[in-house]
Structure 1
């Protein structure tokens, strides 16, 4: 956004790119079209979720989550499942999974609860992504519509040839607004939500597989094999983390 605004300011004044009617057509028109497609609660919830996901929340590193699961597996091997009740866990979904395991629920029930929780969370992220992709589709279309309105008004008032240039510039501004909003704001947020969904699904499946392995009494050494499908770079990461302490000592 800074690059675009800088390029605008380098060749003209920013005020020349302000057209209130065109901006209203693009902004309010895009919101109105999106509200027709989605429920208003989903729309405002999606806006809140998108901005919190992009600017506030931090996705858990899958390697750190894997190492935490391995540590919990060691606790279970030495102290049993009740030993997990005394371990401080930072990841909220992992904390919920551990709570279900400590309470003594069967593996089938734990898996059902955790998968349903994952499904509901992923559905909210996907809904937010659809909302912002809808905005990304509507904004350029409304910009073109505003441009056509401006061109019709210009062609109806061509008595003064000197006014054609400024009128054309104003008419094209709505296309600029539509492309600016779509490509620099809403579509990047939609892509960010899609990436967040993929990361959350992977991390939650790591948690579910790890907890179910502990509840079923599997040996902690095979957790690496259980989680290998979610962390294809696991061997390389382990080599990196194991070589770092040796390098520090040397």
Structure 2
């Protein structure tokens, strides 16, 4: 289940708000106008876009918006619920056989879980199942890496184009030292372009790339749990043993909570 990740939006908004607050608190609304420069904007955005077109293919760039969208959403996965799924599957497999799990998969939305369990039902060896599912994880990581590389590259290129804009402004200024009226606009391009490049990189690109990397790590972690669960079900592990094995993936506080619940259950039965 996917839901909006409000942290990403809040982070971007907070960065912009505090940046503007720093300007307004010192220069007021009138001073804010001094930080708006159209030529500087086009040098940074246009230059970065052109460089990305050179560095990547059009099909890769077409997926950029889909990639960035992932940073604003998160896949809500209940680890404890995932473990219970495999404990229940293990219990049913031991009672009714692996073939009984095929019908169970009709109610499962996660394609990765479904694929793994159906491989187990088909009698595929555990090592082969592990290889097949691990290969799918590797392919997913490669796909994510390509999309993330575009955002990371934009974070590298934007400051560079800011420096190019600075050089343009300095050249214009030095070539027109005999005309004092051109010094101000030329210096504005020189300084503001660097500012724009730094903002694009440090407010947008680098944080989004970090968020996307964290998303990939979390997805890989969840899929590794699925592989362990599928192999445990396929090999006929005792549901209790499988639960203990998969619970090792839970955070320490969640494991402690489960232990406390188990002790409370035992006390109530006594």
Kindly tell me: are residues 41 and 241 of structure 1, through their superposed partners in 2, closer, same or farther at Cα, counting changes over 3 Å? farther
Which residue is equivalent to 1:25? 43
Which residue is equivalent to 2:206? 187
Kindly tell me: are residues 175 and 86 of structure 1, through their superposed partners in 2, closer, same or farther at Cα, counting changes over 3 Å? same
- Map 1:149-164 to 2 at 5 A: 149-161=168-180, 163-164=182-183
Which residue is equivalent to 2:231? 212
Structure 2 residue 155 is the aligned partner of structure 1 residue 136:
yes
Kindly tell me: are residues 228 and 242 of structure 1, through their superposed partners in 2, closer, same or farther at Cα, counting changes over 3 Å? closer
Which residue is equivalent to 1:3? 18
Shift of 1:118: 0.9
CA distance in 1, matches of 2:18, 2:231: 50
Which residue is equivalent to 1:236? 256
Q: Is the 8 A contact 1:139 1:181 kept in 2?
A: yes
- Map 1:68-147 to 2 at 5 A: 68-87=85-104, 88-147=107-166
Which residue is equivalent to 2:188? 169
Q: Is the 8 A contact 2:86 2:233 kept in 1?
A: no
Kindly tell me: are residues 72 and 49 of structure 1, through their superposed partners in 2, closer, same or farther at Cα, counting changes over 3 Å? farther
TM-score of the aligned structures, taking structure 1 as reference length: 0.84
Kindly tell me: are residues 20 and 70 of structure 1, through their superposed partners in 2, closer, same or farther at Cα, counting changes over 3 Å? same
TM-score of the aligned structures, taking structure 2 as reference length: 0.79
Residues matched between the structures, number:
245
Q: Secondary structure at the match of 1:217?
A: coil
Shift of 1:74: 2.4
Shift of 1:218: 1.4
Kindly tell me: are residues 48 and 116 of structure 1, through their superposed partners in 2, closer, same or farther at Cα, counting changes over 3 Å? farther
CA distance in 2, matches of 1:214, 1:5: 56
Kindly tell me: are residues 202 and 112 of structure 1, through their superposed partners in 2, closer, same or farther at Cα, counting changes over 3 Å? same
Q: Is the 8 A contact 2:229 2:242 kept in 1?
A: yes
Q: Unpaired segments of 5 or more residues in structure 2?
A: 1-15
Q: Unpaired segments of 5 or more residues in structure 1?
A: none
Q: Deviations over 1:108-146 (max 9, x none)?
A: 332222112111111111222222111111111110111
CA distance in 2, matches of 1:21, 1:169: 10
Q: Secondary structure at the match of 2:71?
A: helix
Kindly tell me: are residues 203 and 17 of structure 1, through their superposed partners in 2, closer, same or farther at Cα, counting changes over 3 Å? same
Kindly tell me: are residues 225 and 242 of structure 1, through their superposed partners in 2, closer, same or farther at Cα, counting changes over 3 Å? closer
Which residue is equivalent to 1:37? 55
Shift of 1:90: 3.5
Q: Secondary structure at the match of 2:176?
A: coil
CA distance in 1, matches of 2:181, 2:153: 39
CA distance in 2, matches of 1:144, 1:56: 33
Kindly tell me: are residues 149 and 218 of structure 1, through their superposed partners in 2, closer, same or farther at Cα, counting changes over 3 Å? same
CA distance in 2, matches of 1:51, 1:243: 45
RMSD: 2.7
